[in-house]
Amino acid sequence: MPSGKIAGLLHGYRKQKSTNDKEMAQMEHNGTTAMLLIHCPDQQGILATVTDFININGGNIIYLDQHVDRVEKVFFMRVEWELENFIIPQDRIEEYFRTLYANKYDMYYRLYFSDYVPRMAIFVSKMPHCLYDMLARYTAGEWKVEVPLIVSNHDNLRDVAERFDIPFHHIPVTKENKAEQEAATLRLLEENKVDFIVLARYMQIISNRMIERYPNRIINIHHSFLPAFIGAKPYHAAYERGVKLIGATSHYVTEELDAGPIIGQDIVRISHKNTVQDLIHKGQDLEKIVLSRAVEKHIDRKILTYKNKTVVFN
């Protein structure tokens, strides 16, 4: 679209706004913020262009962070602004932004609003430590999220779900019924309008079909011994080797097992005095912390994926 027509579009739109329309928009947007995440080829003026779009339309910026990958020559940005006095209706912001700037600068972008509460499904197997930590944060009101269901291939943690009054769905998986059960799981997720999934030590491999349905929306956690200590007893193997660090990694799930974009990692030191049970305890404690941090960043819309990496904003 020619720049003259674009300017005319905005000018004409602003002239059409009556005082009553503005008052209605302010009532609609009261307390709501918009969050825009962007990456695009780095070039001069992008930061000013985006902030000008917000400022000239009456938005008040309350958060801005940006990063330039000098190797890839890619610009990353997260900006959040108040909509109370923003003159563009909430349901048309994306249309205006895409028309005016996104296509021009070859931007990949995502627009979110704080008045939408994402819906999170939790997948578990038998280990409860990550599940308890997330549900404690959820019920304490730390996260602006809904948990409509918990899915498990075992029945062991049903009582935990019932304690927190969350529907529990036992979907046992075997080699013979895996495809059928996953189809049932996908229907369940769709019925509950799930936005993203957290694998809280869910001991099943997620198929490509589900990954394609939820790209960069399935979060996993595992110990960071891989690939050094594989198998069912990594902590025992680490103990035998005499390792001095235990780590945990949270990442988005991709088709390549345990190799998706990393969201967060952390470590804890151990010594010769620690037993195998000490290692397991320290490792599980670290897992639940690292996973919850990753989930919180996802809920707060502070993660941008690019290729097989992430930019995680503060």
Q: Which residues are catalytic?
A: 258
Contacts of 30 (CB under 8 A, 6+ apart): 84
Is the peptide bond prior to 89 cis by the omega test (within 30 degrees of 0)? Answer: no
- Please name which of 245, 149, 137 lies closest in space to residue 196, comparing C-alpha atoms: 149
Q: How far apart are CA 8 and CA 219, in angstroms?
A: 44
Q: How far apart are CA 126 and CA 170, in angstroms?
A: 12
Chain centre to alpha carbon of residue 188 = 20
Beta strands in the chain (DSSP E): 33-41, 60-69, 74-82, 108-113, 119-124, 146-152, 168-170, 196-199, 218-223, 245-252, 262-269, 303-306, 309-312
Angle at 279 between CA 274 and CA 281, to 5 degrees: 115
| Cβ atoms 192, 148 nearer than 8 A | yes
Q: How far apart are CA 183 and CA 164, in angstroms?
A: 27
Q: What are phi and psi of 18, to 5 degrees?
A: -85, 165
Tell me the CA distances in angstroms from 62 to 79, 96, 275, one per residue in order: 8, 21, 48
How many C-alpha atoms does 16 have within 13 Å on its Cβ side?
Answer: 8
| Residue 55, helix vs strand vs coil | helix
Angle at 309 between CA 304 and CA 314, to 5 degrees: 45
